[in-house]
């Protein structure tokens, strides 16, 4: 056994044993393929509180993975925990309605000016699928335009390969076992190129365009000035629906999300993650007109666990806190402080920190300028160097996501930000 392997078995011994145990009965030892990327094995966690999380070896981490984005208030926020505990005493799954549904919906509609009707689901994937189903029903068309590097859930037809599309645009690559027929309805092109979008509309009958308003699943890449506005004009001209996927950006880029920040809105909006501070819940919002077919039962949206009592209780309380306490100025301040500190620390090592707005940012090694799309991001991202940096951060007690995305929460105070920067300085010295 090498010295490195000895060090790993010492620091992560219980996680290694737990992963071995799980792998005998759980495929890959994980229940989401994203977690396969963890090192030295997918770690096993025992507890979390505020901005901290502990693995079963009792290693403590400042947590910037934040459940992959949901815990905007930090783990176990006392008000959310109290609301869920109270709800737990009344029940969990009613196969019917409860009053918290209306309370949450009224709060969301009152907060987001462009939403009139919603439906509540479990995850972003569900809402993405419902959005394109609505678009197809309303327009009578089947083709969907989406952008390389964006992510809209793991379900066919929206899960497609991460590789480049046919030039200048075309059908996407698909993964093993995925439906080629379903993927044939998807037209892919690069983000931030309006001329390609125009060509797609000229060549295809498009039901909807779906996008992240700020690309967050491949780096953190903003729309170029006027891009979304131009796409919206094309959608209106051709009778297509514009779907804005705010699963990540919603409630992280301000109370009205990236659309509020950018001052441009879509026809359908999708929310998840930070909507309930870590409890399984998602929502789709649109006009009464576009949601009418769902309400009549003509467009199917079903699910045993949709609007689960505990999750909606968490969602109601999370919304109350975000509206009443307005943590966004403090969140922005902490995030910018961390971003600027990392840029200063990494300036001589090629570390780039991509931040647009709100409480999330991406670290990578490569060109410092703002990336316009997935292709440029891939060419300007030294993955081996990034993995080494992330490993070094983890070994010292800082945990971003496995691809270098950081989510800052209300619980990340100045002391934790300072500690993070100290650790980052020591970690980058190993690069």
Q: What is the CATH number of domain 78-325?
A: 3.40.640.10
Domains 44-72+327-428 and 78-325 share a fold: no
Q: 3 pLDDT band (50/70/90 cuts)?
A: very low
Length of the chain: 431
pLDDT digits (tens, 9 = 90+) for 259-297: 999 999 999 999 999 999 999 999 999 999 999 999 999
Asked if 370 and 221 touch (Cβ cutoff 8 Å), the reply is yes
DSSP at 169: S
Domain definitions of the chain by residue range = 44-72+327-428, 78-325
pTM as predicted:
0.94
Q: Is the pLDDT of residue 165 over 70?
A: no
Q: What is the pLDDT of residue 163?
A: 52
Q: What is the pLDDT of residue 5?
A: 46
Asked if 147 and 191 touch (Cβ cutoff 8 Å), the reply is yes
pLDDT digits (tens, 9 = 90+) for 85-104: 999 999 999 999 999 999 99
Kindly report which listed range (136-150, 171-185, 195-209) carries the lowest average pLDDT score: 171-185
pLDDT digits (tens, 9 = 90+) for 338-396: 999 999 999 999 999 999 999 999 999 999 999 999 999 999 999 999 999 999 999 99
- CATH class of the structural domain 44-72+327-428: alpha beta
Please provide the DSSP assignment of 33-79 as one string: GGGGG-SSS---EEEEEBTEEEETT--EEEE-SGGGTT-TT-BT-HH
């Amino acid at each position: 056994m090498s010295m490195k392997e000895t060090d790993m078995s010492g620091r992560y011994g219980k996680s290694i044993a737990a992963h071995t145990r799980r792998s005998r009965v759980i495929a890959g030892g994980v229940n989401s393929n994203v977690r396969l990327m963890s090192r030295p094995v997918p770690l096993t966690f025992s507890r979390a509180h505020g901005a901290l999380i502990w693995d079963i070896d009792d290693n403590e981490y400042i947590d910037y993975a934040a459940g992959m984005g949901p815990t905007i208030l930090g783990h176990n926020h006392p008000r959310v925990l109290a609301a869920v505990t109270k709800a737990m005493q009344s029940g969990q799954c009613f196969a019917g309605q409860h009053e918290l549904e209306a309370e949450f919906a009224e709060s969301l509609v009152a907060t987001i000016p462009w939403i009139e009707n919603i439906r509540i689901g479990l995850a972003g994937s569900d809402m993405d699928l419902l959005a394109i189903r609505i678009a197809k029903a309303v327009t009578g068309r089947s083709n969907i335009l989406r952008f390389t590097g964006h992510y809209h859930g793991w379900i066919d037809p929206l899960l497609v390969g991460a590789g480049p599309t046919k030039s200048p645009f075309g059908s996407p690559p698909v993964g093993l076992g995925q439906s080629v027929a379903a993927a044939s309805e998807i037209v892919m092109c690069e983000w931030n190129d309006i001329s390609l979008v125009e060509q797609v509309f000229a060549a295809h009958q498009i039901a909807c365009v779906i996008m992240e308003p700020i690309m967050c699943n491949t780096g953190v890449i903003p729309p170029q000035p006027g891009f979304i506005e131009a796409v919206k004009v094309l959608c209106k001209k051709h009778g297509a629906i514009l779907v804005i996927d705010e699963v990540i950006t919603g409630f992280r880029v301000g109370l009205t999300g990236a659309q509020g920040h950018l001052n441009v809105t879509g026809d359908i909006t999708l929310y998840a993650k930070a909507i309930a501070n870590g409890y399984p819940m998602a929502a789709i919002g649109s006009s009464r007109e576009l949601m009418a077919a769902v309400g009549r039962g003509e467009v199917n949206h079903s699910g045993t666990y949709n609007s689960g009592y505990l999750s909606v209780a968490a969602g109601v309380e999370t919304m109350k806190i975000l509206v009443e306490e307005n943590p966004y100025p403090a969140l922005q301040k902490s995030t910018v402080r961390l971003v600027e500190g990392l840029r200063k620390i990494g300036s001589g090592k090629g570390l780039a920190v991509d931040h647009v707005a709100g409480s999330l940012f991406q670290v990578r090694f490569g060109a410092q300028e703002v990336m316009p799309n997935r292709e440029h991001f891939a060419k300007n991202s030294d993955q081996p160097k990034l993995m080494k940096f992330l490993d070094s951060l983890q070994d010292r007690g800082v945990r971003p996501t496995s691809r270098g995305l950081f989510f800052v929460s209300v619980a990340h105070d100045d002391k934790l930000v300072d500690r993070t920067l100290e650790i980052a300085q020591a970690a980058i010295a190993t690069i």
